[in-house]
Amino acid sequence: MIRSRSSTTSSSVDARRRALVAAFALLTAALPAAAAAHHQDRLLLAVPYPIEAVPSFPGGLFHWIDSLAGTTPGKTVPAHRAEYLRLFGPLTGEDRVDLEAFVAARAEHAQREAANALREGVPPRGSAMLGTFCGSATVDAALTRLKPELTRNVWDGLAKALEHFRSRYEVVWNGGAVPRAFLESARRDPGRPQLAALLAKIVRFYGVDPLAVPPPRLALVPVPGGFGTHAEAIGGVLLLEIRSGDRLADEASVVVHENSHFLWNLVPADRRRRLADFAAGLDEDGARTFRLFGEAIPTALGQGVADRDFRPARWSLDEPWYHTSDVDACAKRIYATVSSALDEGLTLDEKLVRRAIQAADGPR
């Protein structure tokens, strides 16, 4: 945990960080060169915590079919459908049968996730199946992980749908050329230290220790240009669409936005509940605004702070930052408060929640 300037400095945390770094250095020195290089090849950033980034064929295939089927909340569904029509022509009857099987698997798994969430008292993960594919090395590995979570006929239908569309997606994937080119460019980009420094501030803002859990992984998939991009956080897996020619500056806001979701999920449940209760105690409007913060704060951090830092010539309060008007408006109203909090080294607490709600809705 990186504490705010108003908190007592924790020497034990600093010592643990130094120990972790030293242990990692010893471990990688002891590993065969190929294994160590393989790990380093996955890293986009190493500080303030490791962030892996890999081209994900399994995640891309699933997300692509998800877009064709209309079972994703992604903003780039029209892009993927237009590309499909251009490359392969209209969907056939056989295509539609396999898409229906895909939709059935999506629905059954979502129902299972909703039931588990209700039983455990946590929010349902509607994109859990996508997360399985983004977090798996191969399509077969993802299907194996899902087998206990679906009925036999539905699992068979999902496997058949993936196989049916796979050869066509391999044309779109093109050996992962687009995400690979992005990674090669991003790892040489002089803006990486700037991005790392901003993320260090955001770690302090959330008041968590990202080194206590496995590093998040950016699952990179291609998307045609001209339609924007879609990104989505599913636990520690962060789906990120990449356009041909994108550079680190183009994606910095999205990396920050999705990692903000990752860091918020590390905030202990009792502290999240305490902040929500504090907002609810202000008034009904305060509670409603706090619910928007789940997306508005990552948007203020990503499309606000990061985009202004990395693409100042294109940054504007007049351009949309988020695809829904309520979150977009809220993010822009709290942007100055959030940016100031980062500069002041503050942690998200009741006092800061009050300031942000006042910025969004007016004084209370």
What are the pLDDT digits (tens) for 46-76?
Answer: 989 899 999 999 999 999 999 999 999 888 9
Using pLDDT thresholds of 50, 70 and 90, give the confidence band for residue 222: very high
Distance of CA 52 to the CA centre of its chain: 12
- Range(s) of the domain holding residue 87: 57-175
For 236-306, where are the alpha helices, taking DSSP H only?
248-266, 269-282, 284-299
Peptide bond into 48 cis (omega under 30): yes
> Given 132, 149, 175, which residue is the final one in a domain?
175
* Torsion, CA 65, CA 66, CA 69, CA 71, rounded to 10: 170
Asked whether residue 181 is domain-assigned, the answer is no
Statement to judge: residues 165 and 273 lie in one domain: no
Asked whether residue 318 is domain-assigned, the answer is yes
* Residue pair 350/275 in contact by the 8 Å Cβ criterion: yes
Asked whether residue 243 is domain-assigned, the answer is no
> What is the domain count for the chain?
2
Q: CB-side exposure of 216: number of CA atoms within 13 Å? A: 30
Using pLDDT thresholds of 50, 70 and 90, give the confidence band for residue 18: very low
Asked whether residue 152 is domain-assigned, the answer is yes
What's the average model confidence in pLDDT over 207-227?
A: 94
> Given 148, 175, 202, which residue is the final one in a domain?
175
Asked whether residue 208 is domain-assigned, the answer is no
Which residues, in sequence order, are CB contacts of 43 under 8 Å at separation 6+? 50, 51, 52, 53
User: CA-to-CA distance for 90 and 82, rounded, in angstroms?
Assistant: 10
Dump pLDDT digits (tens) for 90-120. Answer: 999 999 999 999 999 999 999 998 888 788 7
| CA diameter of the chain | 66
Asked whether residue 349 is domain-assigned, the answer is yes
CA proximity to 43, closest of 217, 252, 237, 224? 217
CA proximity to 128, closest of 98, 151, 105? 105
> Given 131, 147, 175, which residue is the final one in a domain?
175
Asked whether residue 154 is domain-assigned, the answer is yes
CA proximity to 357, closest of 306, 282, 302? 282
Asked whether residue 222 is domain-assigned, the answer is no
